[in-house]
Structure 1
Amino acid sequence: MMMRQQKAMEAFHRYPRDDGDKLAPGSSVYDLNSSTYGYLVNICKQEYPCPPLVFLYAKMSLHRYNFAQGTMFELIRVQKYVKSTGSANASYYMTLDAIDSAGSLQTFQNKVSEYSVGRFILTCPIARIRGEPIDGKGFSTLVDSTLPECPAVNPFDTYYLVKESELLENPWIRLYLELAVAKTDRHYEDRGAGLADLEIVDVAIDEGQGLNANNAVFYIRYKDLYKANPGHDLVRIAIVRRNFDEAMGRLTLVGQTQSSDVIPNMTKIANEEDTGCSSFKGQIQSPEHPTQISSPLGISEDHEEANQLAMMNLRVEEAAGDSMELDSPSAQDA
């Protein structure tokens, strides 16, 4: 581990920077045409399409832009993405095309970073039209990585239920669900497998927060028709916390999925993760005597080490100027 840290620091010192602590002209990560130390360049073509997870990350980054700017851009395609290497957690620098409601086609240069192995903890510190200045500081500081838990009351009985019309007007709610499932329920298969087969049943949110609040927790009850077979729960719940830091210009999404069986008097499912969620007549309650249950999201010592290294690499990456590379002359003239 120490050797990998030393290599990361060597890469930091080798990275070209000018006197203003910005990347030198031509050094933008987004403008890389071939892979180099620490970065893997991927061009998305018809014969080599963009992976489903990267496509979701691109949608998340556009959501970050729309949320901050009050726009309604929709993803058209991902031209290419540059993936950081050297740790299990990666940053994705994506060049993508999107169109707004008026038909204006724009090219974006966005970034999404993973913060934990095998968990749904994502940040988007950069999302902008190529050539535009960065809103906010554009780099990451400490992220609240605690997973959101079920409340002591049934949110679908107590909290505000999102209307069907609001679901249609806010497609990012489904994006939250797809990200939660792809990051937590699709460990041993294609990350995009069965996402089209997810059916939203209810969405609840605390009335004190609201759909457009910077800080909000969403409770999404859904049917996973892709895994509708013995041994898997048909009805589940995704819990997603959103935080948008205006000063930093950073969107953070943290969440997980849980079992939520609606059969009356159903006892807690044996392999359900113990975070306070149990299913009794479709309600979400806190168990009286929590027990330690092994979970596919459990972090081993190796994962903890990988996470620590990834956090260090990300800080080195940010310190090297990845939040400012878009201000380089080459990026602005592109």
Structure 2
Amino acid sequence: MTDFAILIPKIGDEPPQRKRKSEFPGSSSSAAPIHKVECDSWDDEDYIDPAVEKEYWRQVLESDGFDVDRFALPDGGIYPYIFRDKYDYPYDIALFSRLGLHCYNLQKGTNLRLIAINKYNDEMLGRLFQYYITLEAMDTSNNSLCNFQTCVCQDFTPKDSSFMVQTELSRLKVPAGPRTTFIGPQRRWKDDAVDDSYKGKLPSWLTEQELSNKRGQFYELQESDWQGNEWLHMYAEFALYSKFFAYGNDLRHFLPLEMKKIIVQTQENREASPHMILKANNAIFYISFKGNGDPSGTPMEYQAIVRRTMDGMPGHICLEVDCLAYKSC
């Protein structure tokens, strides 16, 4: 029997430098076939013990990437982090967790809220970063707790916006073990299923003339509308994060954000109540806000354009973000 040397880093430890030998296009990840290295091609950098590689892919397949030990692979692979304190977690991982819960709530009609984060795994796929997060949530309708999993991918250089984040899985926790079906097809985004009206470059900030000419497409939310929908604040937080992600946990110092105005553009539910308009699968949110102080050191206000799209697959939501800053009066 082969012995596996498996190390689990704790948050706060610096991970070793990981070489990335290959890049995978797109945001969907599927298990690659095990690569058997021939004896005459071995070298110190590329060689992987076939038994170790087989064990790695077994864990990936049987947990969908959420429960994977640390393996020293040439391309890095999935890398695990476990929190010493599940209530003390990085700001960005909390944002991604809230997005996964938001997707689930929209699709299931629930109201799950983030309580704690047990662990997360990360993986670099070319220019994309993918996170497999295991968390605890509370159903506010009955105060019951549940375990939840979400797989989130972020891209800082997307084609049509300044920043993009999307979920590939958003679900109640599934126990690890042999799978009867391969999860890959469920994770892949179906771009063809997204309404063409919500593709291409993000629009510019609205002008008064546009609001007047296309009045039927726009709805300005009242303060009472956004107070009951915490996820609107999350959209603004993603906009701030897209500009100042290098600040990491320090972004918490500038919360809560002060919302100034929110306008929703959608072709769905246009004659419905604000409650139904906010449930549209595809919509563009024009959000002006300011922080509690500002990372730049100068009082600033922001105009964020956030396009939300869904492809009809369970657990899928995508946010594309542009964010402009200007000095506050």
**Coarse TM-score class (shorter-chain normalised):** 0.5 to 0.7
Aligned residue runs from structure 1 range 255-274, under 5 A: 255-260=321-326
2:279 alignment partner, one of 188, 195, 212 = 212
| Structure 1 residues 80 and 146: CA distance shift in structure 2, 3 A | farther
Instruction: Give the aligned partner of residue 41 of structure 2.
Output: none
Q: CA deviation at 1:33?
A: 3.7
2:109 alignment partner, one of 47, 70, 81 = 70
Q: CA deviation at 1:235?
A: 2.0
Identical pairs, percent: 25
1:51 aligns with 2:90: yes
SS in 2 for 1:227: coil
Q: TM-score, normalised by structure 2?
A: 0.66
| Structure 1 residues 171 and 106: CA distance shift in structure 2, 3 A | same
Q: Distance in 1 between matches of 2:60 and 2:125?
A: 23
Q: CA deviation at 1:262?
A: 7.1
Instruction: Give the aligned partner of residue 127 of structure 1.
Output: 170
- Do 1:40 and 1:82's aligned partners in 2 also have CA atoms closer than 8 Å? yes
Instruction: Give the aligned partner of residue 165 of structure 1.
Output: 224
1:90 aligns with 2:129: yes
- Do 1:75 and 1:98's aligned partners in 2 also have CA atoms closer than 8 Å? yes
- Per-residue CA deviations over 1:82-103 (Å, capped at 9, x if unaligned) read 0003644210000011011211
| Structure 1 residues 7 and 219: CA distance shift in structure 2, 3 A | closer
- Per-residue CA deviations over 1:134-171 (Å, capped at 9, x if unaligned) read 8x823235595734432344678864221222212111
The one-letter amino acid paired with 2:286 is: Y
Q: Distance in 1 between matches of 2:155 and 2:72?
A: 22
Instruction: Give the aligned partner of residue 151 of structure 1.
Output: 206
Q: CA deviation at 1:5?
A: 2.9
Q: Distance in 2 between matches of 1:184 and 1:78?
A: 25
Aligned residue runs from structure 1 range 244-263, under 5 A: 244-247=310-313, 249-260=315-326
Instruction: Give the aligned partner of residue 283 of structure 1.
Output: none
SS in 2 for 1:32: coil
Instruction: Give the aligned partner of residue 34 of structure 1.
Output: 70
Instruction: Give the aligned partner of residue 4 of structure 1.
Output: 21
- Do 2:170 and 2:316's aligned partners in 1 also have CA atoms closer than 8 Å? no
- Do 2:309 and 2:319's aligned partners in 1 also have CA atoms closer than 8 Å? yes
Q: CA deviation at 1:109?
A: 1.4
- Residue range with higher mean Cα deviation, 32-41 or 123-132: 32-41
Q: TM-score, normalised by structure 1?
A: 0.65
The one-letter amino acid paired with 1:181 is: L
SS in 1 for 2:128: coil
Q: CA deviation at 1:184?
A: 1.9
- Residue range with higher mean Cα deviation, 91-100 or 200-209: 200-209
SS in 2 for 1:252: strand
SS in 1 for 2:235: helix
RMSD between aligned residues: 3.8
SS in 2 for 1:137: helix
In structure 1, list runs of 5 or more residues that go unmatched.
264-334
- Do 2:287 and 2:305's aligned partners in 1 also have CA atoms closer than 8 Å? yes
| Structure 1 residues 241 and 7: CA distance shift in structure 2, 3 A | closer
SS in 2 for 1:183: helix
- Do 1:155 and 1:205's aligned partners in 2 also have CA atoms closer than 8 Å? no
Q: Distance in 2 between matches of 1:73 and 1:49?
A: 19
SS in 1 for 2:240: helix
In structure 2, list runs of 5 or more residues that go unmatched.
1-19, 35-52, 176-180, 269-276
| Structure 1 residues 253 and 145: CA distance shift in structure 2, 3 A | farther
Instruction: Give the aligned partner of residue 309 of structure 2.
Output: 243
